[in-house]
Amino acid sequence: MDLFIQLDVDLLAFVILLAMFINTRKSLGIRNKSTDLFSRLTFLMLISTFVEIVTFAIDGRPGSWMYAAGFISNSLLFALAPVTLYLWVDYIEHLFVKDLEVCRFRVALRGALVAVIMLMVLANFYTGILFQIEEGNVYVRGPWFVTQVMLNILIAGQAYLTLLLKRRSLNPVMLWSLVLFPLLPVAGVVIQTLFYGTTATLSFKTVALLLIYINVQRAMIFIDPLTGLENRRSIDLLVKAMGECRREVIYAGVMLDIDNLKGINDLYGHSAGDLAIKRTAELLRGSLRKTDFVARYAGDEFLVVMEVEDRMALLKAVERIQGSFAVYNETSGDPWKLEVSMGYDTFVYKTPEEVEQALREIDLKMYEEKNRRKIEKKSNLNVVSV
């Protein structure tokens, strides 16, 4: 009965992983390194789960072929575990570690740990230090089993260290999904070590990966990588949420455009332009409530949508935004000034089409304001030159 329960658990994990792998390959939008790493990680865990199913199915079955199959399948499980953890850490560090020197050092460190475990797996063929297949083709742990467990924990610990350092910059849902990313498999290893005959590790890894898939990987489709704000795809979800709201709500929309981004790029380089975009995002987010929707709408355009009691609340929010930019320009020490043109108005949800029309009108007001500011600057320059 225990065998069938374990096989059921592993088969369920396999189906979940297969669904994630197929969906990652086909429907996660534009390919990028994080998606590729996640896809490879899922594929590796698919292989691990399949090997575990085979391992449990043949454990204790008589015959020389079963002995050979059991030894090979168990060896594969020991070899796949550190490689899987290596990819896990690679995924985390790709998301959060930008220092190339730090990345190189950590890659070398965990690569060395993986190499040590691989040498232990090879040595096990001759020494039985990790496991043995005894009479009756029954799997038995070897004296160095706990040692390889500790080495795997050290590999996973790199991911946890990264999350510890980055915890303040992550929202709670994403943080806890990623915190469980290294901890759940470690808990599985501990359970597996303390309670002989259980194989909780792969099941726990599947749960951890599923949490990341739901709360991180799919969420990244709707996050702008430069600013961390929502992106344009999120607007459809926002409009859908408006339609599901059962109460009458007044919404305020603000469209912003950075006036002088081209000048910053031309004078100081595109890295400075990227920094200006990030600073704009930070100023917007700092001027608004946590519940307000803030998105990078295009290259240098941003969209804010919020619930308000009346138009006066919108005007106060606009004043806060303008005040934040004024303070930044006085105190930042950057060689440029950040100036934005804004268009804004209130609207109510009736149909998705009417929301789109309201946003187009707000966008038009923003461009009218931008043109007005350009004309005003030219007039001031002409006055000065005279």
Q: Is the Cβ–Cβ distance between 369 and 345 less than 8 Å?
A: no
**Distance between CA atoms of residues 225 and 34, nearest Å:** 11
Lowest mean pLDDT among 16-20, 65-69, 86-90: 16-20
Residue with tokens 């981004």: 261
Q: What is the amino acid identity at position 274?
A: D
- CB atoms under 10 Å from CB of 330, counted, come to 9
The tokens for 47 are 């292989």
In sequence order, the 6+-apart residues with CB closer than 8 A to the CB of 54 are 69, 73
Per-residue pLDDT band for 114 (boundaries 50, 70, 90) equals: very high
**pLDDT band at 373, cuts 50/70/90?**
confident
> What is the pLDDT at residue 29?
46
Sign, CA torsion 125/130/132/138: negative
Cα–Cα distance, 294 to 224 (Å, whole number): 11
Q: Report which DSSP code applies to 300.
A: S
- Tell me the three state secondary structure of residue 25: helix
Return the residue matching tokens 């994080």.
34
Assess whether pLDDT exceeds 80 at residue 380.
no
Two tokens at 246?
Answer: 């059962």
Residue 9 has pLDDT above 50, yes or no: yes
Q: Give the pLDDT confidence score for residue 176 in this predicted structure.
A: 77
173 band by pLDDT with thresholds 50, 70 and 90: confident
Per-residue pLDDT tens digits for 298-325: 888 999 999 999 999 999 999 999 999 9
Whose CA is closest to 49, among 112, 110, 7?
Answer: 7
Tell the burial category of 30 from Cβ atoms under 10 Å away from its Cβ (0-12, 13-18, 19+).
Answer: exposed
Residue 253, SS3 per DSSP: strand
Q: Which domains does the chain have, with CATH numbers?
A: 2-221 (1.20.1070), 234-385 (3.30.70.270)
Q: What is the pLDDT of residues 16-60, one digit of tens each?
A: 888 778 777 665 444 567 778 888 888 888 888 888 878 877 776
Q: Secondary structure of the chain: what % helix, strand, coil (to 5)? A: 70, 10, 20
